[in-house]
Chains A and B, each alone.
Chain A
């Protein structure tokens, strides 16, 4: 090990040390995977039997060995980690000669692979090389823009541009499709964007509780469920519409936020997390077993879609959206409308959060996050501060829940498992707690990226037929969660903008902010 860490050693010595280290890693990998990957349990008439899979085991151990060897030699140790030039692409540091050499070789190599991929007709080569080239060109473009205009307010431009894109994207792509018949998978694109926006809204809602008030809530999905069921039951039993139920669902969820928040006022940190997790599970189990009201595991179906000021999106009926405006009926109109509903809800969540941060209650949240005892001794009522954070966070969860119910048309307790809470919390933490932009980016990466994985034919061609990416989705999600956290513990956006400053407002490091520890 020592030869690996010291910079002055020769390549031979480093290679030797790296080999020993990688061999140890391979032995550990063999111990980990030997039984679990090396054998598969198969159901037979006689009971369970074992089916050996030596090839799979060899591949897994081989990946660990060679992966660790390459990392040891080129990334972790030595004078010049190979990742330096790529990191520099996304910073403001100046390039050295060898940085340019590494980047050039990478670009040329992947361009070559890309061309070869076209010639031999392999989509896998094209996909991998295309991704590397895309990554390099984004980095290069970013460097050039930063070099030419060093003092632009990039955060603001990014935010405004993002919102403008979100507002214009469905209408523009719809009109383009209608005019030129490009064959865009509109339905899929809109469904995916609606899903991502739902998670952005949930992330922003939870951000109030975790990022601002510093209360670690692992049962956020309970409020999502309360909102969804409130709307679904009111709609199916009393025939109420979406727009009437939306505020009721938000109020119901806020009430539950207070009810569940009250008992946990004295708890802090990890204990609070685990009790909120328990509450989340209790809500789910009650929904599952209280069959008279919730229809148990069969769920509630036939939940109506929202209307456009009373005009339904349907092919038939007296006055519909399409007949009122003299348009040709198209089911995609309803989906575009849903998209704008969730976009509006998400933006309202964001706006309310930004406004609340400037109000006394928001300052009290942040003060409580930093130091509860100091907060109390300065005369801030922590009970009301905590309950208001729970209630407002829960309200947005409830609003998102009733949107989820109306979009799906069917809900069951299965949609509200702990894993949903974990995903929402992961989005908040990985984005950088308290950073609104970070939450949006990480929701796009985590949800959009992994949802897209479901439909990637390219991956299938790399690994081979019979490989189902959907199966590996959650596995990759977990690995990404651990990986991003270890790589950047303060989240993708590592800086925070203080809510109030003397003089000029400057972003500070996330490390200066206490998070989720109240």
Chain B
């Protein structure tokens, strides 16, 4: 029981990170109907920006950890958002009216570019960071097994909840959210009603990228080590999460993230850790084959 509870906590922390990345996939898919394959690598770029910003802030002599982390968070969100905007502008916008495969190919190309850019600029070796947030609480002990809730896990879940709430408010209450939902339903009609479609799509990428940056920072703090390749697997799992929850649905993305995080953690805990990615990937295939609309998605009607 204690072991189970511990894995549950770990799974929720991991799932929150996947959920934050999954929102980027689900929003982009919802609005322009493409898999932003480079989104996982945007997350990786965000983690690297956060790492460098954190080291820079430290060397500037700001030693108060909460303040330093807040600065890093804002810097990483802003700069990663610029990356998200640029990728859309260079690789996707020129191909928006082209056939469906074209942006997928440029997205794969962009993913290769981002990975190799980071590899060239920062080296291929893993970047370790000493634990920044330490400590935690022991919830209870049973048969000599202590169930721990670490501060970083609390921070991850808390940050995710706050951002999700803010995000939910942006989508449901603001003019931006309204135009976004309008573009999702019918881009041409939205344009005719005076919605600036290009800007709305750009802002979607900006928002998705900044959430990915938060995920990158949390990943960096949680695992303490990043390299240029983390984006690929994390991206696929986050996409699985987005599909699982029902693509285009924000709460679905979060829910899917949690489910994928839990599946992965429990698989590693009770079965073989080597095959944890196989578990996540098989989940993706099973979900797509048997529930193509996901948990909270709307069924897509095929028009002839």
Contacts and interface: CB of A to CB of B under 8 A. Distances in A.
A474 B82 contact: no
Interface in A23-70: 28, 31-32, 34-37, 39-41, 43, 47-50
Interface stretch (A182-190, A274-282, A316-324, A350-358): A274-282
Nearest to A468: B120
A157 interface: no
A20 B49 CA distance: 28
Given A37-B121, A41-B122, A489-B99, A478 B109 contact: yes
Given A266-B292, A275-B288, A426-B105, A482 B55 contact: no
A352 B285 CA distance: 31
A422 interface: yes
A282 B282 contact: yes
Interface stretch (A71-79, A390-398, A510-518): A510-518
Nearest to B29: A270
Interface string A187-231: 000000000000000000000000000001000000000000000
A479 B101 contact: no
Interface string B31-65: 00011000000000100110111011001000000
A419 B232 CA distance: 11
A271 interface: yes
Nearest to B51: A41
A120 interface: no
B105 A517 contact: no
A289 B275 contact: yes
A517 B34 CA distance: 12
B104 to A, nearest CB: 7
A274 B90 CA distance: 23
Interface in B272-304: 272, 274-275, 277-278, 281-282, 284-285, 288-289, 292, 302, 304
Interface string A493-518: 00000000000000000010011110
Contact of A28 (B75, B82, B109, B113): B82
Contacts of B52: 35-36, 39, 41, 50
A429 B59 contact: no
**Which of A36, A216, A279, A477 has the most chain B CB atoms inside 10 A of its CB?**
A36
A433 B101 CA distance: 11
Interface string B94-109: 1100111110111011
Interface in A367-418: 373-374, 418
Interface in A428-482: 429-430, 433, 471-472, 474-475, 477-482
A489 B109 contact: no
Contact of A48 (B119, B127, B278): B127
Nearest to B97: A489
B151 interface: no
A486 B94 contact: yes
Contacts of A266: 289, 292
B113 to A, nearest CB: 4
B104 A273 contact: yes
Contacts of B91: 482, 486
A32 B53 CA distance: 13
A269 interface: yes
Given A274-B35, A278-B236, A478-B113, A422 B108 contact: yes
20 contacts: A34-B79, A36-B48, A40-B122, A40-B123, A43-B125, A50-B56, A50-B59, A216-B104, A263-B285, A271-B243, A273-B35, A273-B104, A274-B239, A278-B285, A474-B112, A475-B112, A478-B109, A480-B109, A481-B108, A482-B91
Q: Which 6 A-B pairs have the closest CB atoms?
A: A478-B112, A481-B109, A478-B113, A278-B281, A516-B101, A475-B116
Interface of B: 34-35, 45, 48-49, 51-53, 55-56, 59, 75, 78-79, 82-83, 86, 90-91, 94-95, 98-102, 104-106, 108-113, 115-123, 125, 127-130, 232, 236, 239-240, 243, 272, 274-275, 277-278, 281-282, 284-285, 288-289, 292, 302, 304
